[in-house]
């Protein structure tokens, strides 16, 4: 059956890549004036966006200059949805992003060492997303204005106060001091810190609950492994999906309590492919986030980048590129992402200041849930590189549960890692964690849960993995060590010094610990 109005025929969608779907829609819609394409260029005065982080081009967002105005008094237009992101160098670079409901004049950020000394003023860049009504109303209309400022030349290990504003709304005004936020740059030398991680959040009371417990960990940064807000509920990456861009407004407002203080480092899940914005479906992500631009293609794959905080090197990947299960963006990098991954892992492993390498992305390399289980594309293409460079921890989402493996080497158990035990990636293999229970509806396992205080070990689990062609291959595995079917997230305590160590814990929405283990190299 054909989709109504401007939709693509269902049979045709199944044979089209995301880029082909975008071209199809754009060809039809531009003739009717329903979809416009534009290029937004960097316009940050007095401060750069950092090496490799220039503002990309967006296919579909409409450019709006900072001087444009649409008849609403700036004093009545309050900023919301503040979220921070590191630049490529977290010691000296921070990106501040936020949203306004209408176009405003001369948006900016003020920063300083105290709430009463916001002396530095930096102009912001405007990125405007215009979403038309499509598919007979299945895609809702929205006008969204995202603002971004790049802060460079910061001092390592320094806490800064900041406020966002525009003509008519000055965050330094005593009436607006309650809108201020803070952030802290990475230290000049490695020291102890905590970071958190999860995927598959969406908008819900459970998402709010997780955020509250997460903030209590005082993390230096947070890793979001994709499927960020679920504006596209289907996750198939097809232009015929229903879609409501206004869900992003709800999500960013929900997350602001944490993300205005904790850098929110996201990557791309299957629900984040939004075909109406760009050929790869990532135009919306480019408009809403200012992520490090040091990946192989920051315009077409903004969720691929790396950064180093203290003694931990972090790599974000776009698993849509290698997914057999959901192939809308399969192969979009032409192998460039994997080549970059190999090179970047080698660089980090030979960096004398980096003790640990953490990789995060959406689709699970190893999981046993009844819904998505394991992504064979990740196993085929990336797991050999993780083992080659002795990655210390891999974090995924996609499956809406918590699951943790034993140490895995060559797709088999290299060492059993019970709750509370320690593992060494140089000898045992790699532990893979699925932390996809951030707030979206939960999945299930084919066997009972087994977690701290409720251990029910199984010798094996009958499950499956996705293989080329989008089919399932059954398998019986022995590596599923911890399973917890409830809302949760990951907290990782990093110790520096002569005996560096990672203490990895899974915390439930209630604050209860449901798993913990340690990673120490060369023990």
199 domain residue, yes or no: yes
Across the range 460-467, mean pLDDT stands at 98
Kindly report, residue by residue over 111-163, the tens digit of the pLDDT: 999 998 998 999 999 999 999 887 788 888 999 999 999 999 999 999 999 99
Domain identity same for 427 and 450: yes
Residues 150 and 162 sit within 8 Å (Cβ to Cβ)? no
**By residue range, what is the domain housing residue 179?**
1-188
Tell me what the mean pLDDT of segment 72-90 comes to: 93
- For the beta sheet containing 142-151, the strands, ordered from the edge strand earlier in sequence to the opposite edge, are 80-86, 94-100, 142-151, 125-131
Contact 514, 450 (CB under 8 A): no
Q: Is 340 exposed, middle or buried (0-12, 13-18, 19+ CB in 10 A)?
A: buried
138 and 51 inside one domain: yes
Q: Are residues 348 and 489 in the same domain?
A: yes
- The reply to whether 180 and 205 lie within a common domain is no
Q: By three-state DSSP, how is residue 257 classified?
A: helix
Q: What confidence score (pLDDT) does residue 190 get?
A: 94
Task: Tell me phi and psi for residue 352, to 5 degrees.
Answer: -65, -20
> Could you report the per-residue pLDDT of 45-79, keeping only the tens digit for each?
222 323 233 333 333 444 333 344 455 788 889 99
Residue-wise pLDDT for 11-39, tens only, equals 555 556 667 666 666 565 543 333 333 32
Inform me whether the pLDDT recorded for 41 exceeds 70: no
Kindly state whether residues 341 and 365 are assigned to the same domain: yes
Residue 251 lies in a domain: no
Q: What is the pLDDT of residues 292-347, one digit of tens each?
A: 999 999 999 999 999 999 999 999 999 999 999 999 999 999 999 999 999 999 99
| CA distances for 179 relative to 260, 308, 334, angstroms | 10, 29, 44
Backbone angles phi, psi at 450, to 5 degrees: -150, 110
Instruction: Region of 126 please: left (phi>0), alpha (psi -120 to 50) or beta.
Output: beta
pLDDT of residue 325: 97
Please say if the pLDDT value at position 105 is more than 50.
yes
Residue 99 three-state SS: strand
- Tell me: do 50 and 98 sit in the same domain: yes
Q: In this structure, are 1 and 72 located in the same domain?
A: yes
279 inside domain? no
Alpha-carbon span 493 to 501, nearest angstrom: 8
Number of structural domains, the chain?
Answer: 2
Decide if 118 is inside a domain. Answer: yes
| pLDDT value, residue 33 | 37
Model pTM score: 0.89
Average pLDDT, stretch 425-435?
Answer: 98
Q: Are residues 91 and 196 in the same domain?
A: no
State percent of the chain over pLDDT 70.
86
Per-residue pLDDT band at 2 (split at 50, 70, 90): very low
Question: Same domain, yes or no, for 323 and 455?
Answer: yes
CATH (domain of 337) = 3.60.21.10
Please check whether residues 104 and 215 belong to one and the same domain: no
Same domain, 104 and 208: no
């Amino acid at each position: 059956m054909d989709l109504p109005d401007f939709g693509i025929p269902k049979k045709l969608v199944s044979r089209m890549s995301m880029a082909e779907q975008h071209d199809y829609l754009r060809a039809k819609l531009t003739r009717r004036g329903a979809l416009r394409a534009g290029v937004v260029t960097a316009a940050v005065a007095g401060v750069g966006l950092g090496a490799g982080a220039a503002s990309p081009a967006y296919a579909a967002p409409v450019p709006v200059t900072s001087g444009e105005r649409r008849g609403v008094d700036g004093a009545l237009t309050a900023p919301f949805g503040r979220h921070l992101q590191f630049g490529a160098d977290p010691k000296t670079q921070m990106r501040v992003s936020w949203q306004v409901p209408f176009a405003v004049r001369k948006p900016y950020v003020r920063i300083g060492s105290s709430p009463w000394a916001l002396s530095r003023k930096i102009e912001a860049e405007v990125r405007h997303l215009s979403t038309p009504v499509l598919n007979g109303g299945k895609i809702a209309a929205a006008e969204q204005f995202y603002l971004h400022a790049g802060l460079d030349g910061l001092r390592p290990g320094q806490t800064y106060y900041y406020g966002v504003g525009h003509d008519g709304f000055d965050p330094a005004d005593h009436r607006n001091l309650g809108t201020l936020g803070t952030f802290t740059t990475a230290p000049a030398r490695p020291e102890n810190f905590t970071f958190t991680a999860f995927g598959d959040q969406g908008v819900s009371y459970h998402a709010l609950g997780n955020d509250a417990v997460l903030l209590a960990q005082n993390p230096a940064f947070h890793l979001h492994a994709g499927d960020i807000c679920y504006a596209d509920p289907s996750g198939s990456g097809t232009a015929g999906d229903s879609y409501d861009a206004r869900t992003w407004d709800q999500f960013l407002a929900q997350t602001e309590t944490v993300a205005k203080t904790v850098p929110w480092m996201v990557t791309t899940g299957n629900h984040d492919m939004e075909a109406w914005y760009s050929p790869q479906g990532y135009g919306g992500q480019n408009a809403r986030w200012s992520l490090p631009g040091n990946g192989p293609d920051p315009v077409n794959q903004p969720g691929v980048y790396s950064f180093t905080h203290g003694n931990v090197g972090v790599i974000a990947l776009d698993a849509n590129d290698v997914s057999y299960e959901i192939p809308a963006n399969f192969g979009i990098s032409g192998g460039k992402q994997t080549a970059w991954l190999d090179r970047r892992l080698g660089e980090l492993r030979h960096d004398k200041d980096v003790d640990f390498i953490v990789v995060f992305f959406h689709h699970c390399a190893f999981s046993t849930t009844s819904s998505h289980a394991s992504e064979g594309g990740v196993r085929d293409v990336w797991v050999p590189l993780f083992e080659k460079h002795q990655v210390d921890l891999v974090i995924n989402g996609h499956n809406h549960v918590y699951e943790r493996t034993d140490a895995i080497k060559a797709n088999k158990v290299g060492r059993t890692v019970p709750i509370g035990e320690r593992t060494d990636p140089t000898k045992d293999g790699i532990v893979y964690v699925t932390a996809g229970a951030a707030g979206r509806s939960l999945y299930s396992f084919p066997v009972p849960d087994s977690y701290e205080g409720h251990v029910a070990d199984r010798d094996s689990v009958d499950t499956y993995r996705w293989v080329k062609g989008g089919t399932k291959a059954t398998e019986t595995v022995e590596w599923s060590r911890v399973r917890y079917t409830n809302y949760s997230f990951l907290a990782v305590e990093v110790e520096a010094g002569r005996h560096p160590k990672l203490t990895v814990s899974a915390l439930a929405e209630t604050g209860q610990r449901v798993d913990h283990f340690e990673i120490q190299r060369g023990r």
